[in-house]
Amino acid sequence: MKIGKSYRLPAIKLPATGAFCCIITLFTVRLCAQNRDDTDKEWEVVKYERYVKALKFSMDSLKLIYRHRWSVGFSFGGLYMPGATSTEKDYNTRVNMREKHSFYMLSFEYYLTDISRVGVEAGWQMLPMKIEPRAGGTYIDGGGGINIPVFVYLKRDIFGGVLNRTVMKPENRGSVNRPSFFAVAAAGLTFTNLVKIQAGRQELRTSQYRQVPFTSKLGIGMFQRIGGVVGVELIAAYQLSSNYSPSIGSVSAYSGFNLSTRLSLIGGGGFGKMKKRIGEMY
Rounded Cα distance, 41 and 34, in Å: 10
Q: Most confidently modeled of 124-128, 214-218, 244-248?
A: 214-218
Rounded Cα distance, 20 and 37, in Å: 26
The predicted model gives 150-173 an average pLDDT of 67
Percent of the chain with pLDDT over 90: 37
Picking from 53-57, 108-112, 216-220, which range would have the lowest pLDDT averaged per residue?
53-57
State residue 169's pLDDT score: 47
- Which one-letter amino acid corresponds to residue 216? S
Residue environment code for 98-136, b if the CB has 16+ CB neighbours within 10 A, otherwise e: beebebebebebebeebbebebebebebebeeeeeeeee
Percent of the chain with pLDDT over 70: 65
Q: What CATH code would you report for 64-281?
A: 2.40.160.20
Show the CA angle centred on residue 166, arms to residues 165 and 171, nearest 5°: 120
175 band by pLDDT with thresholds 50, 70 and 90: very low
Rounded Cα distance, 167 and 60, in Å: 9
pLDDT for 240-249, tens place per residue?
999 999 888 8
Rounded Cα distance, 257 and 80, in Å: 5
197 band by pLDDT with thresholds 50, 70 and 90: confident
State residue 198's pLDDT score: 82
Burial of 276 (0-12, 13-18, 19+ CB in 10 A): exposed
Residue ranges of domains in the chain:
64-281
42 band by pLDDT with thresholds 50, 70 and 90: low
State residue 31's pLDDT score: 57
State residue 89's pLDDT score: 84
Predicted model pTM: 0.70
pLDDT for 87-116, tens place per residue?
888 888 888 888 877 999 999 999 998 889
What secondary structure, in 3-state letters, does 94-136 show? CCCCCCCCEEEEEEEEEECCCCEEEEEEEEEEEEEEEEEEEHH
